[in-house]
């Protein structure tokens, strides 16, 4: 059954992407219908895959010793991500039918989204590291294409190129790791590699090198420190794309990569600590940037970066389950936040929060759903974000030192501050401009309401998720636990109330500062620094300048003169021959 | 290694060397094609000689046929292009035809 479902999940979106290309842009309604139909179909297939969870590797076809076998897995982690990608994918495509109505080049838009959904499913389902790399690069390509969708806007083009360029660092890391793995075990199979690593068949120094290359890959893809500058600039994409790719799915593939390979590197010295430090630095820096940003989508982007930092921290603290549970919660509530923000931006046609305000009564559906998402983001009980965040805080408390736990508590305050600031500036207070707004049309409201229900209820499936994880991922050593036991543990723990108190303290702190209109010199310094992305943007510019100068310098070597080229070829041939002669002795 | 083999190797080296030398020094497109011809003939003799030494002459023969076919196509297209270029630009000097910016 699974051997049939997996190709269906990957190829339904891909084939309909080709179909859209044949239909062309004259038939807009047909494009909406085909794209929605294909994604809903693949969402149903992915939900059917939930019945097939096991720890076995499925062989679809052997394609020779070079690339390994085309093999797939249906472990709980992969299936969970496939369901997220396809279900949220179908909701965003339905939403796009209203959001992208009467836009130009819809075929390109839908084609890229469908290509992305298929590639994302392949990325998480495969157990061949070569195929993983292949799908990984397709998702990067789709992300670049969709960020630069409005290709007459220079900001969009620049944002897309930046995303492509920075995520390529990750791609190089993953490719090098794959080559090293092949060199060590003469196989590209992920389960075989994990087995070999656990049995000590791979030298420790090579294993650490592979581990750190994978961290670099994951950090670049998931927009973590020091690569986190690309995600906010990716917000030039159409909002459904931001919701799907840059909040709910693609940015999670880094987390997935680390969680999947966790058993192999668990005992590599410094591996978990590095992830922990990256996570913590990302959380603090991106939360600070979210507090001072004025663009609604940028605030959401920074909050995505910081929530991904939470997942990194959870893996670093040794709790894969907490990170994956938070990944599920975050995918749902952040897609909800982005889609609600998109509906608002679509009707008010600005992203500047200082031009909004007092919208609560004017757009009831958008505001209620947005606030549900925001409460989940701030970790307010009983929404899904609360439970997963508490699990992470608990894991950090148990698995690391008290100092890291205190930093996490501080980040809870920051999260509450930027969330309440964003909600207040958009929906409450007095209107700061006389722009006309209207509530979400029915096609947009449907995904919003569904996602809001998901935000309220997804944590109820904890028992099933935990059971699936612990049975299908034996190497991750996940304890079997039920919802009632987990809830009891969380609610009876005094630390939970400290965290909730911190959230409320953050809200109170923001209101206090707003009412008294206080200003501290220290705060101004932090504001200045965070508006400049803590100088990371200058570092990026510096790297680009160095690269440009180098390539301008090398350019003089390319004379275009045939005689010189021939001479160069002969000289190169002679050098290689001499080296071979010396090496042969 | 007997004397004949040594002489053949020397001959092959000198033919390939002449071809390369021609490619390096000449600026005339037509002469470049001739230089390429000399070079490829040297390579072909080398292939046949290697086949003979290894005792796999039929393999060498089939490779020589392939080289002849490929080489003919290259020559035909090269000559046609050089004549067209001379008609269009009025010169056969590759440096003056080259448009790549320095």
Contacts 24+ apart (CB under 8 A), A35-38: A35/A93, A35/A96, A35/A110, A35/A113, A35/A114, A36/A90, A36/A93, A36/A94, A36/A97, A38/A12, A38/A13, A38/A114
pLDDT band, residue A28 (cuts 50/70/90): confident
Residue B2 distance to chain A (closest CA, Å): 24
* pTM of structure: 0.84
pLDDT band, residue A431 (cuts 50/70/90): confident
Residue A383 and residue A375: Cα distance in Å, rounded? 7
Q: Which of residues 16-55 of B touch A (CB under 8 A)?
A: 20, 23-27, 32
Helix residue ranges, H only, A24-63: 28-48
Annotate A168-225 with DSSP letters as a single string.
Answer: HHHHHHHHHHHHHHHHHHS--BHHHHHHHHHTT-S-HHHHHHHHHHHHHHHHHHTT-T
Q: Which of B18, B19, B20, B24 to mutate to test the interface with A (most CBs of A within 10 A)?
A: B24
Residue A197 and residue A194: Cα distance in Å, rounded? 5
Rg (CA), chain A: 24
Q: Quick one: closest CA in A to B36, which residue?
A: A566
The residue written with tokens 């501290």 in the block is: A520
Residue B1, pLDDT above cutoff 80? no
Phi, then psi, of A101 in degrees rounded to 5: -55, 135
Q: Which of A253, A257, A272 is nearest to A208 (CA)?
A: A272
Residues of A in contact with B94 (CB under 8 A): 561-562
Rg (CA), chain B: 17
Residue B31 distance to chain A (closest CA, Å): 12
Residue A53 and residue A408: Cα distance in Å, rounded? 34
Kind and range of the H or E element at A104? none
A346-362 mean pLDDT: 85
Using alpha carbons only, give the angle A408, A409, A412 rounded to the nearest 5 degrees: 90
3-state secondary structure of A71: strand
The Cβ-side half-sphere exposure at A140, using a 13 Å CA radius, reads 27
Which chain A residues have any C-beta within 8 angstroms of a chain B C-beta?
A: 556, 558-563, 566-567, 570
Q: Is A177:A128 a contact under the CB 8 Å cutoff?
A: no
Residue A92, pLDDT above cutoff 60? yes
| Closest CB from B32, B95, B99 relative to A561 | B95
Classify each residue of A287-304 as buried b or exposed e, where b means 16 or more C-beta atoms within 10 Å of its C-beta.
Answer: bbbbbbbebbbbbbbbbb
- The domains of chain B, with CATH numbers, are 3-97 (1.10.287.3510)
So what's the ipTM on this one? 0.74
Q: Is A43:A244 a contact under the CB 8 Å cutoff?
A: no
Q: What is the pLDDT of residue A274?
A: 93
Residue A486 and residue A160: Cα distance in Å, rounded? 42
3-state secondary structure of A60: strand
- Name residues whose C-beta falls within 8 Å of residue B59's C-beta, 6 or more positions apart in sequence: B51
Residues of A in contact with B100 (CB under 8 A): 558-560
Longest CA span, chain B: 53
Using alpha carbons only, give the angle A570, A573, A574 rounded to the nearest 5 degrees: 85
- Inspect the interface and report whether the beta carbons of A567 and B24 lie closer than 8 Å: yes
Q: Which of A327, A315, A332, A330 is nearest to A478 (CA)?
A: A315
Instruction: Please give the structure tokens belonging to residue A266.
Output: 């668990």
Query: Over the stretch A41-91, which tens digit does the pLDDT of each residue have?
Result: 999 999 999 988 888 888 777 777 677 788 898 899 999 999 999 999 999
Q: Is A121:A46 a contact under the CB 8 Å cutoff?
A: yes
Q: Which of A405, A404, A234 is nearest to A304 (CA)?
A: A234
Query: Over the stretch B30-41, which tens digit does the pLDDT of each residue have?
Result: 898 999 999 999
Q: Is A468:A348 a contact under the CB 8 Å cutoff?
A: no
Q: What is the pLDDT of residue A537?
A: 82
- Inspect the interface and report whether the beta carbons of B23 and A558 lie closer than 8 Å: no
Q: What is the pLDDT of residue A10?
A: 93
- Inspect the interface and report whether the beta carbons of A559 and B24 lie closer than 8 Å: no
Range of weakest confidence among A54-63, A132-141, A379-388: A54-63
A459-465 mean pLDDT: 90
Range of weakest confidence among A60-74, A80-94, A303-317, A318-332: A60-74
- Name residues whose C-beta falls within 8 Å of residue A296's C-beta, 6 or more positions apart in sequence: A341, A344, A345, A351, A352, A353, A356, A422, A426
A189-198 mean pLDDT: 91
Report the percent of chain A where pLDDT is more than 70: 99
Q: Is A142:A119 a contact under the CB 8 Å cutoff?
A: yes
Instruction: Please give the structure tokens belonging to residue B88.
Output: 């269009």
A186 φ/ψ sector (left φ>0, alpha ψ -120 to 50, else beta): left
The residue written with tokens 């290689």 in the block is: A576
- Inspect the interface and report whether the beta carbons of B20 and A559 lie closer than 8 Å: no
Bridge partners for B28 per DSSP: B93
Residue A273 and residue A268: Cα distance in Å, rounded? 10
Return the percent helix, strand and coil in chain B, to nearest 5.
85, 0, 15
Using alpha carbons only, give the angle A379, A272, A269 rounded to the nearest 5 degrees: 165
């Amino acid at each position: 059954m699974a051997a049939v479902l997996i190709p269906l999940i990957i190829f339904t979106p891909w084939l309909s992407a080709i179909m859209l290309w044949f239909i062309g842009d004259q038939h807009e309604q047909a494009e909406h219908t085909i794209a929605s139909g294909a994604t809903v179909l693949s969402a149903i297939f992915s939900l059917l895959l939930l019945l097939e969870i096991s720890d076995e590797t499925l062989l679809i076809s052997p394609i020779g010793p070079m690339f390994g076998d085309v093999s797939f897995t249906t472990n709980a982690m992969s299936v969970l991500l496939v369901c997220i990608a396809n279900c949220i994918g179908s909701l965003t495509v339905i939403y796009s039918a209203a959001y992208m109505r009467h836009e130009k080049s819809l075929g390109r838009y839908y084609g890229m989204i469908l290509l992305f959904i298929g590639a994302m499913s392949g990325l998480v389902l495969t157990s061949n590291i070569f195929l993983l790399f292949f799908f990984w690069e397709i998702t990067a390509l789709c992300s670049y294409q969709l960020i630069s969708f409005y290709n007459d806007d220079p900001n969009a083009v620049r944002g897309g190129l930046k995303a492509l360029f920075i995520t390529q660092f990750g791609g190089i890391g993953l490719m090098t790791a794959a080559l090293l793995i092949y060199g060590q075990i003469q196989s590209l199979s992920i389960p075989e590699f994990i087995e070999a690593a656990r049995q000590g068949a791979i030298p420790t120094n090579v294993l650490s090198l592979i581990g750190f290359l994978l961290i670099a890959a994951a950090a670049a893809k998931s927009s973590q420190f020091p690569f986190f500058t690309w995600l906010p600039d990716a917000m030039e994409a159409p909002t459904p794309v931001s919701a799907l790719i840059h909040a709910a799915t693609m940015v999670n593939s880094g987390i997935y990569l680390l969680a999947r390979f966790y058993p192999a590197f668990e005992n590599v010295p410094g591996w978990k600590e590095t992830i922990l430090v990256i996570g913590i630095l990302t959380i603090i820096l991106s939360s600070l940037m979210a507090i001072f940003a004025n663009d609604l989508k940028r605030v959401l982007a920074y909050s995505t970066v910081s929530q991904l930092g939470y997942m990194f921290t959870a893996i670093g603290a040794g709790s894969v389950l907490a990170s994956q549970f938070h990944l599920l919660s975050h995918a749902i509530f952040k897609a909800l936040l982005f889609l609600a923000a998109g509906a608002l931006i679509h009707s008010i046609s600005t992203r500047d929060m200082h031009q909004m305000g007092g919208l609560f009564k004017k757009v009831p559906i958008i505001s209620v759903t947005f606030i549900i998402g925001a409460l989940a983001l701030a970790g307010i009980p009983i929404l899904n974000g609360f439970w997963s965040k508490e699990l992470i805080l608990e894991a950090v408390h148990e698995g690391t030192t008290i100092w890291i736990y205190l930093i996490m508590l501080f980040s809870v305050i920051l999260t509450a501050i930027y969330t309440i600031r964003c909600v207040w500036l958009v929906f409450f207070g007095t209107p700061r401009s006389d722009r006309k707004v209207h509530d979400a049309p029915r096609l947009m409201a449907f995904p919003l309401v569904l996602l809001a229900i998901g935000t309220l209820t997804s944590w109820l499936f904890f028992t099933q998720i935990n059971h699936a994880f612990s049975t299908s991922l034996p190497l991750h050593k996940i304890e079997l636990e039920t919802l009632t036991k987990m809830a009891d543990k969380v609610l009876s723990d005094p630390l939970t109330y400290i965290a909730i108190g911190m959230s409320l303290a953050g809200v109170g702190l923001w209101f206090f500062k707003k009412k008294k209109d206080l200003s501290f010199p220290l705060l101004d310094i932090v504001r200045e620094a965070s508006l400049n992305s803590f100088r990371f943007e200058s570092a990026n510019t510096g790297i680009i300048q160095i690269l440009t100068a180098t390539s301008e310098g090398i350019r003089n070597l390319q004379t275009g003169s045939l005689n010189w080229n021939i001479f160069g070829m002969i000289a190169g041939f002679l050098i290689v021959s001499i080296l071979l002669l010396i090496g042969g002795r | 290694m007997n004397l004949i083999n040594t002489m053949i190797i020397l001959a092959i080296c000198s033919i390939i060397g002449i071809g390369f030398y021609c490619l390096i020094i000449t600026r005339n497109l037509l002469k470049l094609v001739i230089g390429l011809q000399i070079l490829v003939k040297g390579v072909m003799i080398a292939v046949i000689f290697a086949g003979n030494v290894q005792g796999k002459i039929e393999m060498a023969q089939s490779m020589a046929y392939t080289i002849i076919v490929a080489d003919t196509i290259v020559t035909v297209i090269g000559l046609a292009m050089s004549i067209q270029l001379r008609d269009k630009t009025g010169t056969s000097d590759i440096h003056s035809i080259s448009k790549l910016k320095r």
